[in-house]
Amino acid sequence: MALSPPASAYEGKETKITRRYASIQWTAREYKNYLYIFAVNAAQKVEKLKAVHDGGPAYRVTAKFGPVKSVSSQVIVINEGRTIDLSGGYFADSFEPLGTHIYKVSLN
């Protein structure tokens, strides 16, 4: 898979991106002692006749986010009823084709 810098923003702050994914697009915002990360896997398959579908398992992506300084050991995935372990300031999650996730991380 060809890798390219993601379209991302973290409140205009300079970031040191250590991993790059061809299809993950993300942005992050701090609000009331929480960091919210909004991420999408923009991968999709476009056929020659311009028919579009998600592309199936070949377009799934697992992304690693961090470093995040948090007092918590878990990240909440909003509206999905699940949490992800935060270990050493990093967490990873999988994305279906065209899948989106919103993460909530406690900063204090």
Tens digits of pLDDT across the chain (108 residues): 333 344 444 555 555 555 555 688 888 999 999 999 999 988 776 666 665 566 667 778 888 998 888 888 999 999 999 999 999 999 999 998 889 999 999 998
Name the token pair of 79. 């509206």
Q: Are 74 and 85 in contact (CB under 8 A)?
A: yes
Domains of the chain in start order, with CATH, are 22-106 (2.60.40.1180)
Q: What pTM was computed for the model? A: 0.75
Distance separating alpha carbons of residues 15 and 102, to the nearest angstrom = 19
- Predicted local confidence at residue 1, as pLDDT: 37
Is 8 in a helix, a strand, or coil?
strand
For the chain, the distance separating the N- and C-terminal CA atoms, rounded to the nearest angstrom, is 38
Name the token pair of 86. 């935060």
Q: Are 57 and 40 in contact (CB under 8 A)?
A: no
